[in-house]
Amino acid sequence: MKKALIVALLLISALFSAPPVSFAKETVKVGVITPLMGDVKTYGESTKNCFLMALEQYSKNGRYTIVPVIADDRNDPTEGTNAALKLITQDKVVAIIGPLTSKVAIPVSETANKYKIPMITGTATNLKVTISDGKRKPFVFRTCYTDNFQGSIAANFALKDLKARSAAVLYDVSNDYSKGLAEFFRSTFIKGGGTVTAYESYQKDDVDFSALITKLAMKKPEVIYLPDYYNKVGLISKQIREKGLKGTLLGGDGWDSPELAKIAGNSIIGSYYTNHYSADRKDSVTQAFIKKYKEKHGMVPDALGALAYDATGILFKTLDAAKSPNPEEIVKGLAGLKNYKGVTGNISFDKSGDVVKSVVILKVGNEKSQYVTTIEP
């Protein structure tokens, strides 16, 4: 017994005392929180794919060996917060990429900020992600625009390009993302001289929208704004067309999934949505990224994956530039980031940790979404 112990101790000490091998780099852990199951899993998957792609790119000549710790939040705020606590306290990550959706990102941003761990979400657009009660959370950043901007652009597009005078809004009252977009759409649409004839909410697990849609049918809105994720949107758009409503459907970046067309079928064709980037964007960085993703995964990446790719790229760049790989140094670097050439555009964080970027408007077609126009901020 004693002998075995001595041998074991000798072995362990031999491991530690071994001279550092020249090519071994310092190891740094980075956490990723994203939904790999549940109602928005296609986004989680593309986010994960894009993160790993960025990591592969970095590994070629980065300063550190990065060990990713990927956690599944199932698009559930509680799961997300648990995952964040585990990443921070047990895995000791230096930074977190994600979470994907606003409703998970808001509580996780609180946790990250409390433990002083930098967090960059690629995709959570709700205002409360970077700010709570009017106060900036200094450790939280994002690489996408915010809901107020996206909602207003959609409203202006409805007013000016679609020449709509009346609109209806259907949103998920239990989802911060959906609620945020709905509010900003409504206020901008009214300010622009339109009337919002119906402003109705439903709940997370609803599948029967017949009462709400029959109500909308009475008002005959020219535009129906559906700020939610593809799963719900598909279900609603189907029921809208079955009830014989003709209004143009309009949505946000939550529509960007190949699943949408599968669920919604013909009912969604010809509808418009605002998005972060178009795969048709004529830019060498973007096109190189899309080509690489296609080679690996056999399809065009969605905007959410692209944003996660940028978030990861920014983190790695800052990490290499920082004096040492600790959270404080990384945050300092992030706050000073200017003009990062990302696949979704040029990224500079403003003083609230958000970015100012252009919005792309896409039209849902038979095969894929077609680019309509870009709106600069």
Per CB under 8 A, does 206 bind another protein? Answer: yes
Per CB under 8 A, does 197 bind another protein? Answer: no
Per CB under 8 A, does 246 bind another protein? Answer: no
| Positions in 255-284 near another protein (CB under 8 A) | 259, 262-263
Per CB under 8 A, does 48 bind another protein? Answer: no
Closest contact distance (angstroms) between CB of 184 and another protein is 20
| Side-chain half-sphere CA neighbours of 177 within 13 A | 23
Closest contact distance (angstroms) between CB of 268 and another protein is 12
Closest contact distance (angstroms) between CB of 7 and another protein is 42
Stretch that binds another protein, among 7-15, 134-142, 241-249, 274-282 (CB under 8 A): 241-249
What Å distances lie between residue 185 and 159, 170, 172, 174, 196, CA to CA? 11, 11, 14, 17, 10
Binding mask 69-98 for another protein (x = CB under 8 A): -----x------------------------
Q: Which residue, 174, 188, 169, is CA-closest to 227?
A: 169
Per CB under 8 A, does 39 bind another protein? Answer: yes
What Å distances lie between residue 25 and 189, 243, 251, 317, 318, CA to CA? 54, 62, 46, 16, 17
Buried b (16+ CB within 10 A) or exposed e, 127-156: bbbbbeeeeebebbbbbbbbbbbbbbbbbb
# of chain residues touching another protein (CB under 8 A):
31
d(CA 72, CA 100): 11
Contact 363, 150 (CB under 8 A): no
What Å distances lie between residue 307 and 47, 303, 365, CA to CA? 8, 6, 23
Per CB under 8 A, does 136 bind another protein? Answer: no
Closest contact distance (angstroms) between CB of 172 and another protein is 10
d(CA 340, CA 244): 47
Per CB under 8 A, does 288 bind another protein? Answer: no
What Å distances lie between residue 50 and 55, 138, 313, 349, CA to CA? 8, 26, 10, 21
Per CB under 8 A, does 219 bind another protein? Answer: no
| Residue placing its CB nearer to another protein in the complex, 15 or 218 | 218
Per CB under 8 A, does 41 bind another protein? Answer: yes
Per CB under 8 A, does 37 bind another protein? Answer: yes
| Residue placing its CB nearer to another protein in the complex, 259 or 280 | 259
d(CA 149, CA 169): 17
| Residue placing its CB nearer to another protein in the complex, 265 or 270 | 265
Helix axes 102-114, 77-85, angle to 10 degrees: 30
Count of CB atoms situated within 10 Å of the CB of 101: 30
| Residue placing its CB nearer to another protein in the complex, 347 or 364 | 364
Per CB under 8 A, does 231 bind another protein? Answer: yes
Q: Which of 166, 201, 358, 370 binds another protein (CB under 8 A)?
A: 201
| Burial of 2 per CB tally in 10 Å (0-12, 13-18, 19+) | exposed
Site residues (vs another protein, CB under 8 A): 37-39, 41, 74, 173, 200-203, 205-208, 210-212, 214-215, 218, 231, 234-235, 238-239, 242-244, 259, 262-263
